[in-house]
Amino acid sequence: MSDADVSIRVSPEGYLDILSQEEVNSLLDSSKGGLYHLFRTCSLAVLNCGSDADDVRQLQEKFSSFKIQVLQVERGLRLELHNAPAVAFVEGKMIRGIKEHLFSVLRDIIYVNNEITKNPRFNLGKSKGTTDAVFHILRNAGTLRSRTPPNIVVCWGGHSIQRHEYDYTKEVGYELGLRGMDICTGCGAGAMKGPMKGATIGHAKQRIQTGRYIGITEPGIISSEAPNPIVNELVILPDIEKRLEAFVRIAHGIIIFPGGVGTMEEILYLLGVLLHPKNKKLPFPIVLTASESDRSYIERIDRFIGKTLGKRAQDRYEIIIEDPVRVANTLLAGLRVVRKFRKAKGDAYFFSWTLKMYRDFQQPFLPTHKNVAKLNICKGQPTYKLAADLRRVFSSIVAGNVKEQGIRAIEEHGNYRLTGEPEIMTAMDELLQSFVDEKRMKLPGHDYTPCYEIVSRKSK
């Protein structure tokens, strides 16, 4: 069987088995104003689970003949696939986990388009409206569960990591699983898969049959970080900002492993949110951890945060090197504090309403060369505002590295010019160069061509 020769019809199992005619029409070819391109791109990504490619255009070119169609039949909904990746099938049948992911794509694209984007109830121009939209997307996906004590640990880290780094994430995940904690990641490979894989063993030893492995992604990144096969709850948010808000709203604690620019974007987002004065007393356990051989990576991240956001930001997390048991126990203790705090405040365990969100962390950022050039990378402003623009810098590099729109912009207009105060830009240059040297920008075996250049400017 070749890489692209499977044609088949599949049906949902127990959910989303019917669509309205309007919803079906919205999935027509994009030339007719529908969502077909978005649906096809995300569907192809989940069907290609296990691929080592991280270039959305490379994937699209490889499976250029792939087609997917929504059919209304007498007993409900069917998806008809033509020239789909063979890796998604065994003995002519679609792998069940991939099938679940495929219908999660359909569910979220339809819901966001019809119930969020087109719904005047959600004022996405306001902070409250954006948070409400994130809540409803997660609720519709079944992610928010009441009567469950805090036990969701979000794990961040790179998809382009070495084997020993991956093994360490598994060891941490195993210790988390032994203590009954569930795992949420960006759903891809590397440090997003390792903790889930480790937790499955920990859960199995404890005879926990309801372990949750939540994957949160967005359309712009899913093709480069396709859901790994362990994910049993996949949610696709409409953009990176809502994806990041979903992480911090459902997380009861966060562990950060070595990664590249995407991981740095997540760190800056999290610290920026927590540095807002209204979140000063909010308990939120955060651990930066790595094996002993990667101690220098953690030290570089800590040093960069100190030079840009200062000691108050550094005080929000704990650094633990080569000690999975201590990492797990630190999170376990932190979850108890979170539970006590939320109970006292009357806040939900499943979604942190108490967390205050600065609007700049919610506003979708379009990484055009013009917008990147406008970013205010200087210290003469509140620290959380600087964190917001620093996050956008790293988000732009992610886009230039792996997102279709960003790659095209780089080809048309050249590299992004990252400008700011000399001290900050020097620190950024050193950090980014270390990512390049350690091959954290691309999957192993792929050469990296920078999509940016660092330019310092004098302080105003």
Q: What's the predicted TM-score (pTM) here?
A: 0.92
State the residue for tokens 């954290």. Answer: 440
Per-residue pLDDT, 443: 58
Looking at residue 239, what is its pLDDT? Answer: 94
| Residue 362 dihedral angles phi and psi, to the nearest 5° | -110, -25
Q: Specify the amino acid at residue 272.
A: G
Compute the half-sphere exposure of residue 276: CA atoms within 13 Å on the CB side of its CA: 18
pLDDT of residue 265: 96
Low-confidence ranges of the chain (pLDDT < 70): 1-5, 13-18, 28-34, 50-57, 74-76, 442-446, 457-460
**Model pLDDT for residues 154-204, shown as the tens digit of each residue:** 999 998 899 999 999 999 999 999 999 999 999 999 999 999 999 999 999
Q: Which positions ≥6 away from 149 have C-beta within 8 Å?
A: 335, 339, 349
Structure tokens at 198: 């480790």
Angle (CA) 246-251-255 rounded to 5° is 115
Domains of the chain with bracketed CATH: 4-119 (3.30.1850.10), 132-345 (3.40.50.450), 359-456 (no CATH)
Per-residue pLDDT tens digits for 342-386: 999 999 999 999 999 999 999 999 999 999 999 999 998 999 999
d(CA 257, CA 317): 13
pLDDT at 450: 85
Helix 295-308 × helix 422-437 angle, to 10°: 160
CA 70 to chain CA mean position, Å:
27
Q: What is the pLDDT of residue 166?
A: 96
Distance, CA of 213 to CA of 234 (rounded, Å): 9
User: Which residue(s) pair with 234 in the sheet?
Assistant: 215
CB–CB of 204/222 below 8 Å? no
**Contact residues for 307 (Cβ-Cβ < 8 A; gap 6+):** 423, 424, 427
